[in-house]
Amino acid sequence: MMKKCLRLIAVAVVCSLALPVMAAEKVEPVRMGSGIMTFDTVPGWGFDEQGRSVLGPTHGGVVVDKEGNIYTSAKIGVFVFSPDGKVVRRFLGDEYSNIHDLEIRDEPEGEFIYGARNVAGEGIKFHAQTGDIILKLPFPKESGLNLKKFAPTAITVAPEGDIILSDGYASNYIFKFDKNGKYKSHFGKKGNGMKEFNTAHGMTLDTRYDPPRLLICDRNHQPKGRLLHYDLDGNFIGEVITGLGMPTSVAIQGDYVSVPDLHGRLVILDKDNTIVAVLGNNEDANTRRNFNVPQDQWREGIFSGTHSSYWDKEGNLYVQDWNVSGRLMKLVRVK
């Protein structure tokens, strides 16, 4: 009798442990946005077989290569996913860790990833297929500046190959190098004035204009964050839009710009720099702008600390949250 009771108890325990998994509801896609900028989420995209994120803590960028593979940076390195969310390669270790921002460029020798490494205090360039590092950009002493800290947050590349690196977590100077890494010039400074940066956090080449210009996220500018235009020689052009909360990065496709906001939303601007859609808006003050939201508390279609985004050729968006568990989401454009 005692053995029978113990067997029944064991079965009951196993069943009770299995019940949450069996009873778990399937996560359905969430539709967001408006008009031609309407998207559906892809639940579980990029997860492993156990349904967990493979990334670890994320505070980085995301880009897409010409084959449609998605590169995203995490604390431990760079992960490359296929469009269906499978990991196809990784670049891990100290040399690839803590890349805060990514840019990708198709060059005669192949596609290359450019990265801004805030913790390591450098810019970096490596081959997208092999991971071979071919260039590092430390603080340029030739600038004559006497900086106590160098913490780059954003990087982009001009059409002729000049590399532009923003020291957004320190001096807020933006440095320009030639394609071989030789220092050329710098501009900007820390402050809250019209031509000053209060955390020059994100940056890209704004190809909506001819000639292209720099589009820069002035994340902490008061009273609220803004976007700015500068020419490629560092001359101020003007404010693009203000009142964006904490804009972290910018990505261009055609006439449209995706702008993640650390408060847990992503806005899309048209060529007139008017907001045409808002994605993933988080109304919960406890989870927006919050790194410490574990995966079991993620809400489908709701962002927490939106940090980076990128478009693929079909107009889909990949969005990374600043997050302790490592969150990268795919949003499929509704045609």
202: nearest Cα among 46, 106, 304, 309? 309
Instruction: With a cut of 50, say whether residue 7 has pLDDT above it.
Output: no
pTM to 2 decimal places: 0.92
Instruction: With a cut of 60, say whether residue 12 has pLDDT above it.
Output: no
User: Residue 50 burial (CB < 10 Å; 0-12/13-18/19+)?
Assistant: exposed
Per residue in 216-261, pLDDT tens?
999 999 989 999 999 999 999 999 999 999 999 999 999 999 999 9
Per residue in 280-292, pLDDT tens?
999 999 999 999 9
| CA–CA separation, 183 and 137 (whole Å) | 9
Long-range contacts of 179-185 (CB under 8 A, 24+ apart): 180/135, 181/135, 181/136, 181/137, 183/140, 183/142, 183/143, 185/233, 185/234
pLDDT band at residue 326 using 50, 70 and 90 as cut-offs: very high
Per residue in 24-35, pLDDT tens?
468 999 999 999
Spatial neighbors of 281 by CB under 8 A, at least 6 apart, are 264, 265, 302, 303
Structure tokens at 17: 């442990």
Q: What is the pLDDT of residue 196?
A: 97
pLDDT band at residue 10 using 50, 70 and 90 as cut-offs: very low
Whole-Å CA distances, 250 to 54, 103, 151, 176, 259: 25, 11, 19, 19, 5
High-pLDDT (> 90) share of the chain, %:
92
